[in-house]
């Protein structure tokens, strides 16, 4: 995707769109044609969400007279009007505040599908006009809109789980089999960041060396069998393990255990084995009443954890989160380093690399520097077209609706 040909990009656009339409069908089945959801910070109105995907694609490809210039495109140049009257007033995320999206008179489900289909056909037609070995500049916006759509599909899976909607792209956290428990990293210099060739997001550019001290790192994200003893030891009631911000968040949220779990006390289920009491925990969607018992795989990566929870466990265990640079070096160089089951919180604040220059989609990175935390990896709902060892994800520290976990480091 990042370095491939025109046809590689076409394949990605088609594969990602299959998921988009399948998710839309799942939502319509669960919610009806109105697709109404409650107004919450971590949600978007589904009709807005998919209309925005179509608008974004049209805005940066079919309506972009300077798309062949790649990152040198002048954002403010005059564009053609949208094929859907009113689209700019509805779907431009830079101009339409989040909370106002529930009050918009959005097109209905049929019109939204038509908008998706029309703009996608435009994109594919323009892509097909390019030579097979098109330049990175020529392909930049086609790659961008494909990856942007993949991100929104993943967000739709998170929203579905929050709402209790069953979707075909089910979010899971499969166990990762690794031949070794830890990787041992020598002290050395690692050059962080993506090369200038091919596609890269603006926050990945600005390659620079970072000195890394020798350390050991978990070969896989922390599993439930490692995380639950912290919970069972009263970790959620003991402020010594939490940062001030984390403890304040915990008190405000009212959580007594991870969001992903609800405790079900079953005295006859507790034994003295290595995983004692794990069977007293249930993995359940948020809309299922407590007391519903489902299976929990103790070997699976712990997920739906906030940064605060990851930090608290590390303090309790005498460990630390890896920095972005440590994680990237291990993912690129260390045999046995397994990733992809969950997004992984790092110790690094989401910040610009040296010499940062925003790309034409100005709101992608720059507004979030300093207020969000960097995550690395991927999860079961992440498109394979998006997953990359140098990709930088970012969320606010309190977010636990995302499929995020962590791994730990030691000296």
φ, ψ of residue 307 in degrees (nearest 5):
-60, -40
- B/e letters for 83-113, b = 16+ CB within 10 Å, e = fewer, are ebeebbebbeeeebeeeebbebebbebeebb
pLDDT digits (tens, 9 = 90+) for 178-191: 678 999 999 999 99
Residue 75: inside a domain: yes
Residue 89: inside a domain: yes
One-character DSSP codes across 90-148: HH-TTTS-GGGGGGS----HHHHHHHHHHHHHHHHHHHHTS-TT--HHHHHHHHHHHHH
Residues 32 and 101 in one domain: yes
Q: What is the largest CA-CA distance in the chain?
A: 70
| Predicted local confidence at residue 37, as pLDDT | 96
What mean pLDDT, rounded, does the chain reach?
A: 90
Q: What is the pTM of this model?
A: 0.92
Q: Does the structure show a pLDDT above 50 at 261?
A: yes
Residues 210 and 317 in one domain: yes
Residue 18: inside a domain: yes
| Number of domain units in the chain | 2
Closest to 184 measured CA to CA, from 320, 313, 326: 326
Residue 280: inside a domain: no
Residues 23 and 123 in one domain: yes
Residues 159 and 202 in one domain: no
Residue 236: inside a domain: no
One-character DSSP codes across 123-139: HHHHHHTS-TT--HHHH
State which of 134, 163, 192 marks the end of a domain. Answer: 163
Say if CB 374 and CB 15 are below 8 A apart.
Answer: no
φ, ψ of residue 16 in degrees (nearest 5):
-65, -35
φ, ψ of residue 223 in degrees (nearest 5):
-90, 170
Residues 159 and 37 in one domain: yes
| Predicted local confidence at residue 31, as pLDDT | 96
Q: Please give the radius of gyration of the chain, using alpha carbons only, rounded to the nearest integer.
A: 22
Residues 187 and 143 in one domain: no
First-to-last C-alpha distance (Å) of the chain:
37
Name the pLDDT band for 175 (thresholds 50, 70, 90).
low
In terms of Cβ atoms closer than 10 Å to its own Cβ (0-12, 13-18, 19+), residue 385 is buried
Q: Does the structure show a pLDDT above 50 at 284?
A: no
φ, ψ of residue 230 in degrees (nearest 5):
-65, -40
Per-residue pLDDT averaged across 225-248, rounded? Answer: 96
Q: Does the structure show a pLDDT above 60 at 209?
A: yes
Q: Does the structure show a pLDDT above 80 at 272?
A: no
**Distance in angstroms (rounded) separating the CA atoms of residues 71 and 49:** 25
Residue 264: inside a domain: no
Q: Print the domain residue range for 51.
A: 6-163
Q: Strand pairing partners for 300?
A: 175
Name the pLDDT band for 172 (thresholds 50, 70, 90).
low
Structure tokens at 4: 């491939």
For residue 335, give every residue at least 6 positions away whose Cβ sits within 8 Å of its Cβ, in sequence order, or none: 183
Say if CB 351 and CB 375 are below 8 A apart.
Answer: no
pLDDT digits (tens, 9 = 90+) for 24-59: 999 999 999 999 999 999 999 999 999 999 999 999
State which of 163, 190, 213 marks the end of a domain. Answer: 163
Residue 237: inside a domain: no
Per-residue pLDDT averaged across 238-242, rounded? Answer: 98
Residues 37 and 128 in one domain: yes
Q: Strand pairing partners for 210?
A: 190
**Distance in angstroms (rounded) separating the CA atoms of residues 172 and 141:** 31
Q: What is the CATH number of the domain that holds 380?
A: 3.90.1580.10
Cβ atoms within 10 Å of 283's Cβ, excluding its own? 19
Residues 207 and 343 in one domain: yes
pLDDT digits (tens, 9 = 90+) for 114-137: 999 999 999 999 999 999 999 999
| Predicted local confidence at residue 169, as pLDDT | 79
| Predicted local confidence at residue 259, as pLDDT | 87
- β-pairing, 373-377 vs 261-263, is unpaired
Q: Does the structure show a pLDDT above 50 at 258?
A: yes
Residues 137 and 48 in one domain: yes
Residue 110: inside a domain: yes
Per-residue pLDDT averaged across 297-310, rounded? Answer: 93
**Distance in angstroms (rounded) separating the CA atoms of residues 134 and 127:** 10
Q: Does the structure show a pLDDT above 60 at 166?
A: yes
Residues 92 and 192 in one domain: no
Residues 96 and 40 in one domain: yes
Q: Does the structure show a pLDDT above 50 at 213?
A: yes
- Strands (DSSP E) contained in 5-66 are none
Residues 195 and 79 in one domain: no
């Amino acid at each position: 995707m990042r370095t491939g040909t025109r046809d590689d990009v076409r394949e990605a656009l088609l594969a990602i769109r299959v998921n988009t339409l399948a998710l839309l069908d799942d939502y319509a089945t669960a919610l009806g044609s109105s697709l109404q959801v409650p107004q919450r910070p971590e949600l978007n109105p589904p009709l807005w969400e998919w209309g925005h995907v179509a608008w974004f694609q049209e805005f940066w490809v079919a309506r972009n007279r300077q798309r062949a210039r790649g990152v040198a495109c002048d954002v403010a140049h005059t564009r053609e009007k949208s094929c859907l009257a009113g689209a700019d007033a509805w779907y431009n995320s830079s101009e339409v505040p989040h909370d106002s999206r529930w009050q918009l008179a959005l097109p209905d489900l049929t019109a939204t599908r038509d908008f998706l289909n029309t703009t996608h056909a435009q994109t594919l037609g323009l892509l097909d006009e390019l030579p097979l070995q098109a330049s990175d500049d020529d392909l930049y916006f086609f790659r961008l809109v494909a990856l942007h759509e993949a991100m929104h599909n993943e967000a739709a899976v998170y929203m579905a789980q929050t709402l209790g909607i069953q979707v075909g792209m089910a979010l899971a956290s499969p166990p990762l089999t690794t031949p070794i428990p830890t990787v041992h990293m020598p002290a050395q210099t690692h050059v962080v960041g993506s090369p200038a060739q091919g596609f890269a997001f603006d926050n990945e550019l600005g390659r620079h060396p970072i000195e890394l001290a020798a350390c050991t790192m978990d070969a896989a994200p922390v599993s439930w069998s490692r995380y639950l003893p912290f919970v069972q030891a009263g970790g959620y009631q003991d402020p010594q393990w939490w940062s001030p911000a984390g403890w304040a968040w915990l008190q405000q949220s009212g959580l007594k255990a991870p969001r992903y779990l609800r405790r079900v006390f079953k005295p006859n289920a507790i034994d003295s084995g290595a995983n004692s009491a794990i069977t007293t925990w249930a993995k359940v969607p948020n809309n299922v009443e407590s007391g519903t018992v489902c299976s929990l795989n103790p070997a699976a990566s712990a997920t739906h954890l906030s940064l605060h929870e990851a930090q608290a466990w590390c303090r309790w265990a005498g460990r630390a989160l890896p920095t972005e640079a440590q994680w990237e070096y291990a993912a690129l160089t260390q045999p046995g380093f397994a990733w992809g089951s969950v997004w992984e919180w790092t110790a690094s604040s989401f910040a610009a690399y040296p010499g940062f220059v925003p790309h034409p989609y100005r709101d992608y990175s720059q507004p979030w520097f300093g207020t969000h935390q960097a995550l690395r990896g991927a999860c079961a709902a992440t498109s394979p077209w998006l997953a990359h060892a140098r990709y930088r994800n970012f969320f606010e520290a309190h977010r636990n609706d995302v499929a995020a976990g962590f791994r730990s480091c030691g000296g």
